[in-house]
């Protein structure tokens, strides 16, 4: 082709590019919203208490502070109409705040809006700026006063003077500066842009940086999220006490410290401390009666509950006289907090009031804003339908629970590092759960089997999680670095020690009954002088288990124990694997078993439960032979037995059979194939529990209750959502 023929099209492309310029007009108005306040006013524009705000006779006003625009994006509800601070500029212009805003707050009385500024544009120093909603008009300039330090969070509350007494409306600010880390408060009445408003300021120092805080209704106590090292903590500040009173501040750690005895052997690297670190994002929030505080946790996604005495409540414990209360699985897992689907960012309390018919109190609910865009509703004060506090509220329609059956997705097989997503259909040579699709469960009318997986029906135990079923998998936690030592006087046994783990609590098993004992796989120290040092790995049978020590013997004749002294004291990498069995490990449920250690020895747990198990076995022909009825092998293969009942794995959540892979031998007989180590079947289980919640999308950041509405701000997209708090439905939303 003549290359010159390309010139016209190329020029056309250039022209098109030149004409294709478009203006990027975003739908959103708030570009980087960081905080929101809500006020309410009557038809005449007079401020109304937030509790009195209604859809019909008053107007709610949302004040969203935009850190990139450095202004307030102001809108009203119902309707979402925007205030325009500069009518001469197309679109809606935010009201400038004159600095770098961090947080905006308004008192319950709706007569003031306060913005905390990290830096004031005029002075370059931290400041607060404020306005009276009744004065709102285009061109309004906010009043302002300097602060001594960049604020992190701010609240407005009626707090008692030192020693107690009638609350004084005050501004509370959280600081973390070189000169002061803590909470400071000064009376709102002193607010002035003509004089220092802080002469009556009280300052309560904190031992860690405050992240966010809230003030309990009544104003007596502030609850604070503290960012500490190595872990976060919750602070309770008694605002009636003098700052010099050391008992004014109480601290409770979110995580337990790592025991000092768990130091690794010399030469081993300490395990990652990823369990600690940032756990909280938003402010702890007290219940309306002040009896409890709800703490939003980011990881694991949960909500912790403390009582006013700083005692952590186990929300999964059974409640006396309430049948079916408590969650044994979560208790076994040591989970004391309320499990959430996503990291929690904010919490708001709402009183449902009284039943219109009976006049009975409906109780208080907590709205928990999760990072997946969900507002979950939690029972604070129980009622007939929800008899247990600090639990997700049941979702009920016309008296019927909205819970459904749990489901599982098609298992994914991994063999030798290769993922086979359709293995059950395409690869009969590999193990499966024996069913290629979802079918009605012949044993449970109205229920289904999901690729051979059957759920037990107890939704409390059926968590949404990924299950990994691995042939001769590594026992979770039973790996790391340890040392080998000879068994004095014995040539056929030795000991392996790792002081950082508890092998009993991890579920490592010695040989007992039909179980041959787990295997210890060691990567030998190549610097050692014995013959075994040249091997890539050494594998031994576990014949005895203690808290920090395993007794081992040769698993194979070809791999004898190293001679005494060869590896003594040398730190070596190791892992303990199940032997001849599959490990069944849930991402949240973990590896379930019934062992623990006491005085260094393994003992059965007092709460042993056969459903807390994590070992499954391949379902093999009952006659002990190699021949199956057919290949691909499926549930119901007559050689193995109807539904393989004898070898069915059953735990608290689900049950399945591990059906072997198969092939046709030289005589055209279907025979089973032994699985290979690390062959893994993984599947996602999704719980059928449907707790009461409303989806608002995005990153709900803050919540404000006004009348019967809960307002929340999506900091990711700038959308303001208004939720009907009574019936838990989304009323409206706007950018």
Partner 1 sequence: MERTRTAGIGAGGGVALAARAALVALAACGQVRGEVPDTKVFSYPTSVVADPAGDAVYVVSTNFDSRWQFGWVTPIDGAGDTVLDKAAVETGSFAGQPAFEALAGKASRMILPIRDDDKLTLIDMARDTNGQPVLSCGAALADGRKRCGDDRSIPLGSIAHDPDANVIAVNDPFAITVGQPVVIPGDKDTPETLERPLYVGSLLEGTLLVFALRDGGQPVYQGYQALEQGLHTLIEWPISDDERVVLAGTRSRNVIHVVRIVRKDGAWTSMTEEPVTIPQTSATGDYVRGMALSPRGPVLYAAYRSPPSLVVFDIPADGRPILRNFVALNGLPSEVAVYAPEGGQEIVYVTDYEGDSVYAVDPVIPQVLDRISVGQGPYGIAIAADRAFVADFEEQKVSVVALGLADPDRHKEIKRLP
Distance CA 184, CA 544 (A): 59
118 binds partner 1 (CB under 8 A): yes
Quick one: 230 or 324, whose CB is closer to partner 1? 230
Q: Find all residues with CB under 8 Å of 387, minimum gap 6, and list them.
A: 319, 322, 325
Assess 409 for contact with partner 1 (CB under 8 A). Answer: no
Q: Is 68 in the site for partner 1 (CB under 8 A)?
A: yes
Closer of 433 and 683 to partner 1 (Cβ): 683
Residue from 274, 356, 400, 557 binding partner 1 (CB under 8 A): 274
In the bound complex, what is the minimum distance in angstroms from residue 536's beta carbon to partner 1? 7
**Is residue 570 within the footprint of partner 1 (CB under 8 A)?**
no
Give dist(CA 353, CA 292) in Å, integer.
19
Query: Does residue 456 touch partner 1 according to CB under 8 A?
Result: no
To the nearest whole angstrom, how small is the minimum distance from the Cβ of residue 671 to partner 1?
Answer: 26
Nearest to 115 by CA among 141, 135, 144: 144
Cβ partners under 8 Å of residue 10, min gap 6: none
CA distance 334 to 502: 16
Give the single-character DSSP code of 594.
S
For tokens 């796989």, the residue is 521
Taking the complex as a whole, how short is the minimal distance between the CB of residue 34 and partner 1, in angstroms?
7
Q: Determine the Cα–Cα distance for residues 203 and 180; give it in Å rounded to an integer.
A: 9
Q: Is 522:574 a contact under the CB 8 Å cutoff?
A: yes
499 binds partner 1 (CB under 8 A): no
Within 151-190, which residues bind partner 1 (CB under 8 A)? 152
Which is nearest to 36 in space by CA: 485, 730, 700? Answer: 700
Which x/- pattern over 227-266 shows residues binding partner 1 (rule: CB under 8 A)? x---------------------------------------
Cβ-contact 268, 484 below 8 angstroms: no
Least Cβ distance, residue 366 to partner 1 (angstroms): 20
Which of 168, 271, 505, 690 is the binder for partner 1 (CB under 8 A)?
Answer: 271
SS3 assignment, position 125: coil
**Min dist. Cβ of residue 621 to partner 1 (A):** 32
Annotate each residue in 314-353 with x if it binds partner 1 (CB under 8 A) or - if it does not, as one string. ----------------------------xx-x--------
* Residue partners of 574: CB distance under 8 A and separation at least 6: 479, 480, 481, 482, 496, 498, 520, 521, 522, 523
Query: Is residue 523 part of the contact set for partner 1 (CB under 8 A)?
Result: yes
Give the whole-angstrom CA distance, residue 415 versus residue 427: 11
Opening angle at CA 142, ends 138 and 146, nearest 5 = 165
Q: Does the protein bind partner 1 through residue 299 (CB under 8 A)?
A: yes
Nearer Cβ to partner 1 (68/665): 68
Measured CA to CA, the distance from residue 352 to residue 156 in angstroms comes to 24
- Asked if 480 and 474 touch (Cβ cutoff 8 Å), the reply is no
Residue 399 within binding range of partner 1, rule CB under 8 A: no
Q: Does 373 help bind partner 1 (rule: CB under 8 A)?
A: yes
Question: Closest distance between partner 1 and the C-beta of residue 124, in Å?
Answer: 12
- Give the residue, chosen from 525, 701, 702, 728, that forms a contact with partner 1 under the rule CB under 8 A: 701
Q: Which of 11, 195, 263, 604 binds partner 1 (CB under 8 A)?
A: 11
Bridge partners for 602 per DSSP? 597
Give 374 or 461: the residue with its C-beta nearer to partner 1. 374
Query: HSE of 467 in the Cβ direction (CA atoms, 13 Å)?
Result: 31
Closest CA to 62 of 47, 70, 72, 52: 72
Q: Is 272 in the site for partner 1 (CB under 8 A)?
A: yes
Chain residues in the site for partner 1 (CB under 8 A): 3-4, 6-7, 10-11, 13-14, 17-18, 20-21, 31-34, 67-68, 100, 102, 118, 152, 209, 211, 227, 271-275, 277-278, 281, 298-299, 342-343, 345, 371-373, 412, 414, 417, 419, 466, 523, 526, 536, 573, 682, 697-699, 701, 715-717
């Amino acid at each position: 082709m003549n290359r010159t023929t390309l010139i016209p099209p190329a020029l056309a492309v250039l022209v098109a590019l030149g004409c294709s310029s478009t203006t990027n007009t975003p739908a959103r108005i708030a570009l980087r919203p960081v905080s929101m306040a809500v006020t309410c006013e009557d038809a005449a524009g007079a401020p109304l208490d937030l509790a009195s705000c209604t859809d019909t006779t008053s107007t709610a006003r949302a004040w969203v502070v935009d850190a990139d625009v450095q202004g307030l994006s102001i809108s009203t509800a119902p309707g979402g109409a925007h205030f325009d601070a500069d009518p001469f500029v197309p679109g809606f212009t935010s009201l400038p705040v004159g600095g770098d805003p961090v947080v905006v707050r308004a008192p319950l009385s709706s007569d003031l809006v306060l913005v905390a500024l990290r830096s004031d544009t005029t002075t370059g120093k931290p400041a607060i700026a404020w306005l009276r909603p009744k004065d709102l008009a285009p061109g309004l300039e906010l009043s302002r006063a300097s602060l001594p330090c960049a604020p992190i969070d701010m609240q407005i509350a009626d707090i008692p003077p030192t020693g107690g007494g009638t609350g004084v409306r005050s501004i509370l600010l959280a600081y973390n500066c070189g000169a002061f880390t803590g909470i400071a408060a000064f009376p709102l009445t002193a607010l002035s842009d003509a004089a220092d408003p802080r002469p009556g300021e009280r300052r309560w120092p904190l031992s860690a940086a405050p992240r966010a805080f809230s003030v309990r209704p009544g104003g007596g106590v502030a609850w604070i999220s503290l960012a500490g090292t190595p872990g976060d903590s919750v602070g309770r500040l008694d605002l009636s006490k003098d700052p010099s009173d050391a008992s004014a501040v109480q601290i409770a750690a979110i995580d337990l410290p790592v025991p000092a005895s768990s130091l690794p052997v010399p030469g081993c690297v300490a395990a990652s401390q990823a369990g600690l670190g940032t756990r909280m994002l938003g402010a702890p929030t007290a219940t309306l009666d002040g009896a409890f505080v709800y703490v939003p946790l980011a990881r694991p996604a949960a909500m912790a509950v403390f009582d006013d005495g700083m005692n952590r409540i186990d929300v999964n414990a059974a409640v006396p006289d309430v049948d079916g209360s408590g969650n044994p699985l979560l208790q076994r897992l040591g989970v004391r907090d309320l499990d959430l689907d996503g990291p929690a960012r904010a919490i708001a309390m709402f009183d449902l009031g009284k039943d219109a018919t009976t006049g009975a109190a409906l109780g208080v609910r907590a709205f928990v804003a999760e990072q997946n865009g969900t507002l979950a509703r939690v029972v604070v004060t129980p009622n007939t339908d929800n008899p247990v506090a600090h639990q997700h509220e049941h979702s009920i329609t016309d008296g019927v629970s909205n819970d459904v059956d749990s489901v599982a997705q098609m298992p994914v097989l991994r063999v030798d590092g290769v993922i086979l997503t359709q293995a059950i259909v395409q690869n009969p040579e590999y193990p499966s759960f024996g069913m290629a699709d979802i079918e009605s469960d012949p044993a449970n009318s109205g229920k289904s089997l999901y690729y051979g997986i059957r759920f037990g029906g107890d939704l409390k135990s059926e968590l949404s999680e990924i299950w990994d079923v691995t042939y001769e998998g590594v026992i979770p936690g039973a790996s790391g670095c340890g040392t080998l030592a000879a068994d004095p006087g014995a040539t056929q046994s030795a000991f392996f020690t790792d002081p950082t783990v508890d092998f009993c609590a991890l579920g490592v098993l010695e040989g007992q009954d039909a179980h041959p004992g787990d295997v210890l796989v060691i990567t030998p120290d190549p610097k050692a002088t014995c013959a075994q040092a040249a091997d890539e790995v050494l594998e031994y049978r576990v014949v005895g288990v203690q808290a920090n020590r395993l007794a081992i013997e040769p698993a194979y004749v070809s791999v004898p124990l190293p001679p005494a002294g060869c590896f003594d004291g040398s730190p070596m990498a190791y892992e303990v694997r199940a032997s001849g069995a599959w490990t069944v490990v849930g991402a949240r449920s973990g590896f379930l078993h019934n062992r623990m250690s006491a005085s260094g020895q393994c003992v059965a747990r007092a709460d042993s439960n056969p459903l807390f198990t994590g070992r499954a076995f391949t379902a093999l022909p009952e006659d002990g032979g190699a021949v199956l009825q057919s290949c691909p092998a499926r549930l119901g293969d007559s050689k193995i037995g109807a539904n393989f009942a004898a070898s069915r794995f059953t735990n608290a959540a689900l049950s399945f059979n591990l059906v072997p892979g198969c092939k046709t031998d030289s005589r055209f007989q279907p025979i089973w194939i032994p699985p290979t180590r690390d062959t893994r079947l993984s599947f996602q289980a999704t719980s059928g529990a449907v707790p009461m919640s409303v989806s608002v999308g995005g990153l709900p950041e803050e919540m404000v209750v006004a009348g019967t509405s809960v307002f929340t701000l999506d900091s990711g997209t700038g959308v303001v959502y208004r939720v009907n708090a009574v019936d838990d439905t989304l009323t409206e939303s706007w950018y």
